[in-house]
């Protein structure tokens, strides 16, 4: 597979790095006051949520909480939803913010349209993870698409999204969607060869239930399940070989997320120049609304990397 | 003047908006626990610096403090320097982070090279503010430049930078630099007509001592001091007419900064396509080092705006 890295601007849903867990707990313990627990709710600053991650030791992002709307423990992770004072509702898995109503659009649009606008007439698309439904919502904009499979391991994430995040969960309402609740690794292992035009891996951190989605056998399954010239898009972090690079990138400039996009051998894919120009102002998808972040210019611009990142790739 | 907006990725030094001061104090007071004071040092989470700003009500960015290196009160503002655990040294003015050693490069490089690479052979450059010296360091990369004037109002910022931020203050060592400690508004009022090829306004928030740098007479002075076809670069926020837009942009996607770049009437300037391709890997400026963020591709990419921002401009 040929890989290209693209950097898009998106705030949340930054993947977290492996092998540094001690830093996070270290931060919490030497400080002795950054609240308890995976949920990040602070005992000492009541009413605030703290996001502490091994990805950004020595700093904490915090949001003011209006009200905790849901707290549960699924078979896989801690799930929390709170109403923030300025970011709308916020979905938190194992203490890490997955998305906020205010800025989820940037992430969902980029991880979906970077691959789908790079190939002509995608017909079969697979989403691995993405239980909130936001990627489904974006895939549903393509009239060429006939089949949208999604494999999400955690039913609680789906249920919570349907209850609290209707603007993301609306993606499930598309009749082309087939939902499989189960293990993405197994799903892909059993997928027929050459099935999909595009696969989008929208997972949480490599530390939690998504761990296997960051290992080689999974990438081999992806390559097998894609048609020749098919594409896969993933957050930069999910490629272990890029982990150090991603870490350095995030740590230099928080607030930036990287994606890795690859194609299987076959018809060449020129990722920098989208073949499909999606109409960013299209109001025909009334329920979904026009695009907030992505457009064809942003697509190409996402492949322009800062000098330090270019040097890392070379 | 013709204005174009460009968005670059840079973390700190995000300008703050006017007219919302009540929000910041509101946040602090209703919460009752976000520490005291303009310096942001928290009484309740010792060892952490909290950045609270009217620009981002309901959220707080915080950095772990290893050691406070300097605290002073100049004629204009509170000045603090601390050693953070992961961002290097951090310069704070009136409680707002101005720059960190780790990521200052993105801001300094973009605000400098966006204008200077857009015109052929700049000779006379004026920096208003920029007391840390980082913009001077970037301007010094141009061999065509004969004269670099800088007018910074606060001598304490200069002294502190020279003591604690040698990699930024190195900009002062260029023999082409003429330092004026004084009021930028007055300096520009007295500048001869048509003097400068480029003016870079590197100021702090519109709330503090820099307030006048955000008002119309100042922009008129800039236009007068520029040669025909000369350029000015400024953070997006500093144009009051764009304030709402900038606010919306920042509030949608924190971690992103916008610049406004304009030229006076005269030889046309095509900002999107730099006429000078600065060599990002140039090691000949040994003391300054190669560019970390800017390159010609990033220059053009900075003018590709997300869909929501494009709609705001139209």
Please provide the DSSP assignment of chain B as one string: -EEEEEEEE--S-----SS-HHHHHHHHHHH--S-SSTT-B-SSSTTEEEE--TTSTTEEEEEEEEEEEEEEE-SS-EEEEEEESSS-EEEEETTEEEEETTTHHHHHHHHHHHHHTTSSS--EEEEEE-TTSHHHHHHTT-TT--EEEEEES-HHHHHHHHHH-HHHHGGGGSTTEEEEES-HHHHHHTSPTT-EEEEEEE---TTTTTGGGGSHHHHHHHHHHEEEEEEEEEEGGGSGGGHHHHHHHHHHSTTEEEEEEEE-SSS---TTS-SS---TT--SSTTT-S-SS--HHHHHHTT---HHHHHHH-
Instruction: Give contacts of B278 with chain A, Cβ < 8 Å.
Output: none
Q: Cβ(B148)–Cβ(B140) under 8 Å? A: yes
- How far off is chain B from A221, nearest CA to CA, in Å? 34
Interface test with A, best of B31, B47, B54, B59 (most A CBs within 10 A): B59
Distance CA A191, CA A125 (A): 12
Looking at per-residue pLDDT, the higher value among B40 and B13 belongs to B40
Distance CA B200, CA B166 (A): 21
Q: What is the pLDDT of residue B159?
A: 98
Residue of B nearest to A100 (CA): B252
Q: What is the mean pLDDT of residues B66-86?
A: 95
pLDDT above 70 (res B145): yes
**What's the farthest any 2 CA atoms get from each other in chain A?**
57
- Token pair of B43 as six digits: 């009484």
Interface test with B, best of A307, A308, A310 (most B CBs within 10 A): A307
- How far off is chain A from B33, nearest CA to CA, in Å? 6
Sheet containing A196-202: order of strands:
A2-9, A256-263, A226-235, A196-202, A124-129, A147-152, A177-181
Per-position b or e across A66-96, b if 16+ CB within 10 A of its CB: eeeebeeebebbbbbbbbbbbbebbbbbbbb
Closest to A265 measured CA to CA, from A225, A216, A230:
A230
Q: Give the model's confidence band at B61: pLDDT under 50 very low, under 70 low, under 90 confident, else very high.
A: confident
Distance CA A55, CA B262 (A): 38
Rounded to 5 degrees, what are φ and ψ at B180? -120, 120
Interface test with A, best of B6, B24, B56, B58 (most A CBs within 10 A): B58
Distance CA B138, CA B140 (A): 5
Q: Cβ(B261)–Cβ(B239) under 8 Å? A: no
Instruction: Give contacts of B298 with chain A, Cβ < 8 Å.
Output: 304-307
Q: What is the mean pLDDT of residues B141-166?
A: 97
Q: What is the pLDDT of residue A19?
A: 27
Distance CA A34, CA A42 (A): 6
Q: What is the pLDDT of residue A43?
A: 54
Interface test with B, best of A23, A45, A89, A300 (most B CBs within 10 A): A45
The partner residue sitting opposite B256, judged by closest CB among A9, A290, A298, is A9
The partner residue sitting opposite A59, judged by closest CB among B64, B255, B298, is B64
Distance CA B236, CA B148 (A): 23
Q: How big is the A-B interface in CB pairs under 8 Å?
A: 161
**C-alpha neighbours within 13 Å on the C-beta side of residue B158:** 17
pLDDT > 90: percent of chain B: 56
3-state secondary structure of A71: strand
CA distances from B232 to A191, B107, B118, B258 (A): 57, 15, 11, 14
Residue segments in chain A with a per-residue pLDDT below the cut of 70: 1-45, 55, 205-211, 214, 237-256, 283-286, 314
B85:A60 CB<8 A: no
Q: What is the pLDDT of residue B6?
A: 41
Q: A306: which DSSP letter?
A: -
B253:A305 CB<8 A: no
Q: What is the pLDDT of residue B19?
A: 28
Closest to B103 measured CA to CA, from B40, B170, B9:
B9
B63:A62 CB<8 A: no
Distance CA B7, CA B5 (A): 7
pLDDT above 80 (res B211): no
pLDDT above 60 (res B135): yes
The partner residue sitting opposite B306, judged by closest CB among A59, A293, A308, is A293
Burial of B29 (0-12, 13-18, 19+ CB in 10 A): exposed
Closest to B84 measured CA to CA, from B69, B74, B105, B72:
B69
How far does CA B161 lie from the centroid of its chain? 15
The partner residue sitting opposite B255, judged by closest CB among A254, A308, A311, is A254
Rama region for A129: left / alpha / beta (φ>0; ψ in -120 to 50; rest): left
- How far off is chain A from B133, nearest CA to CA, in Å? 20
Instruction: Give contacts of B300 with chain A, Cβ < 8 Å.
Output: 301, 304
Instruction: Give contacts of B304 with chain A, Cβ < 8 Å.
Output: 295, 297-298, 300-301
CA distances from A135 to A132, B108, B172 (A): 8, 36, 50
Closest to A59 measured CA to CA, from B45, B293, B98, B109:
B45
- Token pair of A138 as six digits: 């974006």
Burial of B268 (0-12, 13-18, 19+ CB in 10 A): exposed
Cross-strand partners of B6:
B259
The residue from B39, B202, B205, B281 that is catalytic is B202
The partner residue sitting opposite B291, judged by closest CB among A251, A297, A307, is A307
Instruction: Give contacts of B33 with chain A, Cβ < 8 Å.
Output: 44-46
Q: What is the pLDDT of residue B247?
A: 58
Which pTM value belongs to this model?
Answer: 0.82
- How far off is chain B from A241, nearest CA to CA, in Å? 22
**What's the farthest any 2 CA atoms get from each other in chain B?**
57
Q: Give the model's confidence band at B98: pLDDT under 50 very low, under 70 low, under 90 confident, else very high.
A: very high
CA distances from A9 to A23, A204, A305, B54 (A): 26, 18, 12, 22
The partner residue sitting opposite A295, judged by closest CB among B33, B297, B310, is B310
Please provide the size of chain A in residues: 314
Looking at per-residue pLDDT, the higher value among A285 and B297 belongs to B297
Rama region for B304: left / alpha / beta (φ>0; ψ in -120 to 50; rest): beta
Q: What is the pLDDT of residue A45?
A: 66
Q: What is the pLDDT of residue A125?
A: 98
């Amino acid at each position: 597979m040929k890989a290209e890295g693209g950097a898009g601007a998106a705030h949340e849903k930054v993947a977290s790095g492996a092998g540094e867990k001690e830093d996070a707990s270290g931060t919490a313990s030497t400080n002795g006051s950054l609240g308890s627990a995976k949920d990040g709710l602070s005992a000492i600053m009541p009413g605030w949520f703290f996001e502490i991650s091994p990805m950004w030791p020595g700093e904490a992002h915090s949001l003011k909480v209006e009200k905790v709307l849901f707290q549960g423990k699924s078979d896989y992770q801690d799930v929390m939803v709170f109403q923030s004072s300025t970011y709308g509702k916020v979905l938190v898995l194992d203490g890490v913010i997955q998305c906020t109503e205010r800025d989820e659009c940037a992430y969902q649009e980029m991880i979906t349209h970077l691959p789908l606008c790079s190939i002509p007439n995608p017909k079969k698309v697979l989403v691995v993870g993405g239980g909130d439904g936001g990627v489904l919502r974006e895939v549903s904009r393509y009239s060429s698409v006939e089949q949208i499979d999604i494999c999400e391991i955690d039913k609680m994430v789906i249920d919570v999204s349907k209850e609290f995040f209707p603007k993301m969960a609306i993606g499930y309402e598309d009749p082309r969607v087939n939902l499989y609740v189960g293990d993405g690794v197994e799903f892909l292992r059993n997928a027929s060869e050459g099935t999909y035009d595009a696969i989008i891996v929208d997972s949480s951190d490599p530390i939690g239930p998504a761990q296997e989605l960051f290992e080689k056998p999974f990438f081999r399954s992806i390559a097998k399940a894609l048609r020749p010239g098919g594409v896969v898009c993933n957050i930069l972090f999910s490629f272990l070989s890029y982990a150090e690079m991603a870490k350095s990138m995030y740590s230099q400039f928080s607030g930036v997320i990287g994606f890795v996009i690859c194609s299987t051998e076959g018809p060449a894919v020129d990722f920098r120049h989208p073949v499909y120009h999606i109409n960013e102002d299209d109001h025909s998808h009334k329920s979904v609304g026009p695009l907030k972040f992505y457009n064809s210019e942003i697509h190409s611009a996402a492949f322009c990397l800062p000098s330090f990142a270019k040097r890392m790739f070379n």
